[in-house]
Structure 1
Amino acid sequence: MLAVNPTAAFGRHALAGDEAARCLREAGLDVVVLRRDSMDALREAVDEALRTGAEALVVVGGDGMVHLGVNSLSGTGLPLGIVPVGTGNDVARMLGLPLQDVEGSCARVISALADGGRVLDAGRITTGGRTVWFAGAVSAGFDAAVNERANSWRWPRGTLRYTLAMLRELGSFRAINYTVTADGAETKEGAMLISVANAPSIGGGMRIVPDAAPDDGLLDLFIVKPLSRLALLAVFPRVFSGRHTSHPAVEIRRVRSVRLAAENVVAYADGERIGHLPLDIDVVPGALRVLA
């Protein structure tokens, strides 16, 4: 089954779904293509197709499509393939998949189908009586606020939107008072942001926890303590190379479960809006099989 997001990378890859279907069919695979006008409708169509006996799901798009796949497949044993043509592609980057290369990504999917692929951990969020899965990271703080601001704008498109939203957010953002319960131990944390990560990067290559492994049975708790605007701007470029980890305001530790609580703070997982804190987050080892 091939699920296609026609708005991946803001429409620049509108034909990627057709190209992926062609590549997979030329390899002798029976491909059912699913397209819908909204993510909610697509999610329902994917779940219905899985109930009728699909053997694998391949998603075409960015981290939002990966998020859909992870939530449809975690715990089922069915494999997820990724054709990454979105803007961020952090999960595909973690897996070493070729970005913006439909034919190359499909070749990886076909190869992995033959050998069973790779088994990863999945993060699990419990909030308001519902469960949400993630493959990359949950973030609540400055980066989530930037996402929230950027998503409220219609223009500009692409990564420039997030850069401008970050600069606007810097003007008003203040450190947040969190209550963090990590593996049962509660602490009060003043922080600019907190992420709970299963993968090294967020936001299209920001390597917040460069040593994170998605199959070690642990999550990486990433905390940035209060910083001035100038200090935050100075640290920010180092995140893309992973050279920020020695900064005294940065704390990283490995955990199995985290509860995050704070007033009026929104969380995002794999770039998708989850809702306001509090959230309960834990890791489920081996919950996700990927075609990579």
Structure 2
Amino acid sequence: MDAEAPVTADSGAYLVHVSLGTPAFPIVAIADTGSDVIWTQCQPCADCYTQTAPMFDPKSSTTYREISCSSTIFGCSHEGGGTFSPNASGIVGLGGGAASLVSQLGSTTGGKFSYCLASFGDDKPSTLTFGQSAAVSGGVSTPLLTDPRNPTFYFLRLDAISVGTKKIAFTGASGGGGGGNIIIDSGTTLTIVPKGVLSELADAVSSQVSGGTPVQVQGLDTCFEENVVCLAFAGSASLAIYGNVAQQNFRVGYDLKGETLSFEPADCTAGSSA
């Protein structure tokens, strides 16, 4: 089975456009490889975050059924909070756990999906693709690692980061399955690295900037005027996450059967990723 859905950038996240119920009701939810559960806000909603798009009404769908939480096919949220963009109606979990869309599609996709994330501020949609057409044949590949104790997350092994001629060893990150040390997550904006790595990285980047005036921006470590640009990294004691800014304008292909992750430079607004 091959399938494709449009993806748009919004407030540090990427929203996938899908339909739910019968008749089909359009929803726009965050495409998130760092979580599993698939859900949308539903009427009646006693304590929900503000949502600009119309909210799904289960009573209007002839295929809606109440099932046990352990099934988790597609969940209705009637009460909840959190910090979400008003343009998002929920989350499409693409993680490795049993409740995710990837797991529920099972063998029909051949264990393959990919996405191409356009830059923030670009109004053209990019794509989320499932099946054989999601295969990324060019670029580079690396082992895709999982941890049976926490199957949601996809781990990679990062050894070093290069800035110009300087090579910064990637140390201090908590481990994952099979020797992985960083989680790749389409639902996290910044790339998060151990504080020691961030300090070396910021110094190396600053040394390469010519004519830039340093400026303070809340929540970001290294920024320069004019037309403020910042290093899209944040520090942590030991957590490491490969965020979506660093994945922009690449086709990122997941081959769960082959246990590989592939990257290929791409114009993510050029249309179909196939």
Q: TM-score, normalised by structure 1?
A: 0.26
Mark the structure with the bigger radius of gyration: 2
More helix by share: 1
